[in-house]
Amino acid sequence: MQGQSLLKLSVVTLLVLNAALLGWFVFKTDRGAADDPDPSAAFSPPQGPIVTGSDPITAPAPTPNVAEVAPADPASPAPAAAVPSSAAPSGLLPEEERVIALFDRLSPSVVFITTMGAVHTYFGRGQLAPQGSGSGFMWDEKGHIVTNFHVIAQAQEAVVTLADGSEWPASLVGAAPDHDLAVLKIQAPKNLLKPIPVGRSKELRVGQFAMAIGNPFGLDQTLTTGVVSALDRQIESMSGRQIYGVVQTDAAINPGNSGGPLIDSAGRLIGVNTAIKSPSGSSAGIGFAVPVDTVNRIVPQLIDKGRAERAGLGVMLAGQVVARRFGVEGAVVRTVNPGSPAEAAGIRGFDQDRFGRVRLGDVIVGVDRQTVRSTDDLTKLLDQREVGDEVVVELDRAGARRQVKVRLMALN
């Protein structure tokens, strides 16, 4: 009995001692944690992905110390968002910045043209009223403005509005209906006259950037962008003659854009916007511009003489119906003008035999080693030449080929 009492006492004593040791251990552990100023310094969770198998698992970022997070100051501005490395300092893409810079630089060279025409009143007296509108651009610092002929055709007066909003009466210097070009002139201060840089058609490539500035539907200083869609197109002018080498673009061109500039990515003139192809009359992504090489050739003539000279051989050509009837390919010479370079070169037209039957003379089959298959081919080649140029003309007479040199003359 006494032995059992001693055993119980021993067990109770051991339990008390164990509880005391456990309490002391917990107390020391809490004191050690309180004395350590940065318990996270002993362990930094790995930054970045932790690879387990094939799927990366991103470790959560450590929770910041609450004492280190300062409250937001409502008076201080919020930190700016990081700008992507591909963006310009303004936040715009570099391509956008370039287009904006081009427009800012070139828009002062583009003008808005309002034409005036006579209208009859109830009493039969005519008075001037707005007739139409279009676009144009400054050619030089003398106040010459280039536009389309169809913009000012049949107008009695024209007013040019500059980018600053000032209006100036314009006078007609010259017109070339065959090329749908015209030149006006205004008497504005020189500081307002900013000529547009001029490029070259021969350097154009399909797919390159194109920008049109104009006044579609009377909305001045409008910019549209696109590409050069095709080259060497052909359209008909108001006079019925073909305009060759036309530039096609998908930059939106609408009524009112006519006469405005088509610009390349370097800010140079590459064409004069003149027409669209659209069943609705509005832009369908197929616009046409008179090529800048034609503008470079015609505009100085309009400024100097008021008209454009056409270079020619001094012959009258027969139509393609006649060529097919005779079974030949080329430009058939009907008559030769007396005293012309063609007559001096010995070119012959139609002749008649003693029975009155028409006999074929010369057929022009080439100019400067370029093949001529029709009257259109010949016209296109001569339109690229100047009065006074010497060309080598290849002739076919009754199956025999020969070449003659002809100095081109000015046609009336």
Active-site residue 10, yes or no? no
Q: What is the pLDDT of residues 316-349, one digit of tens each?
A: 998 888 888 888 999 999 999 999 999 999 999 9
297-324 burial: b if 16+ Cβ within 10 Å, else e: bbbebbbeeeebbbbbbbbebbeeebbe
Which residue out of 133, 135, 150, 201 is catalytically annotated?
150
Q: What angle do CA 184, 307, 264 make, to 5 degrees?
A: 60
What's the pLDDT at 120?
Answer: 65
What's the pLDDT at 288?
Answer: 92
Question: What pLDDT tens digit does each residue of the chain (412 aa) get?
Answer: 455 555 555 545 555 555 554 454 444 444 444 444 443 333 333 333 323 233 333 333 444 443 333 344 444 444 444 444 455 567 888 888 888 999 999 999 999 999 887 766 666 556 676 678 889 999 999 999 999 999 998 888 899 999 888 999 999 999 999 999 999 999 999 999 999 999 988 889 999 999 999 887 767 788 899 999 999 898 888 888 888 889 999 888 877 888 999 999 999 999 999 876 656 555 567 889 999 999 999 999 999 999 888 889 999 998 888 888 888 999 999 999 999 999 999 999 998 777 777 789 999 999 999 999 988 889 889 988 888 999 999 999 988 999 999 999 988 6
Which residue out of 180, 220, 250, 377 is catalytically annotated?
180
SS3 content of the chain, % helix, strand, coil (to 5): 25, 35, 40
What's the pLDDT at 215?
Answer: 81
Q: What is the pLDDT of residues 152-174, one digit of tens each?
A: 988 888 999 998 889 999 999 99
Matching CATH number, 311-411, of 3.30.1280.10, 1.10.287.110, 3.40.1190.20, 2.30.42.10: 2.30.42.10
The CB-based long-range contact list for 316-319 (8 Å cut-off, 24+ gap) reads 316/349, 317/375, 317/378, 318/350, 318/375, 319/375
What's the pLDDT at 17?
Answer: 58
308 DSSP assignment:
P
Q: Which CATH topology does 201-308 take?
A: Thrombin, subunit H (2.40.10)
What's the pLDDT at 67?
Answer: 35
Active-site residue 258, yes or no? yes
Matching CATH number, 106-192, of 2.40.10.10, 3.40.640.10, 3.30.70.20, 3.40.50.300: 2.40.10.10
Residues of the chain with CATH 2.40.10.10: 106-192, 201-308
Which amino acid appears at position 178 of this protein? D
Residues of the chain with CATH 2.30.42.10: 311-411
Which residue out of 109, 229, 258, 283 is catalytically annotated?
258
**What is the chain's length?**
412
CB atoms under 10 Å from CB of 197, counted, come to: 14
Active-site residue 180, yes or no? yes
d(C-alpha 109, C-alpha 137), whole Å: 6
Contacts of residue 340, defined as CB under 8 A and 6 or more positions apart, other chains included, come to 313, 314, 315, 409
d(C-alpha 385, C-alpha 313), whole Å: 11
What's the pLDDT at 78?
Answer: 42
What's the pLDDT at 325?
Answer: 87
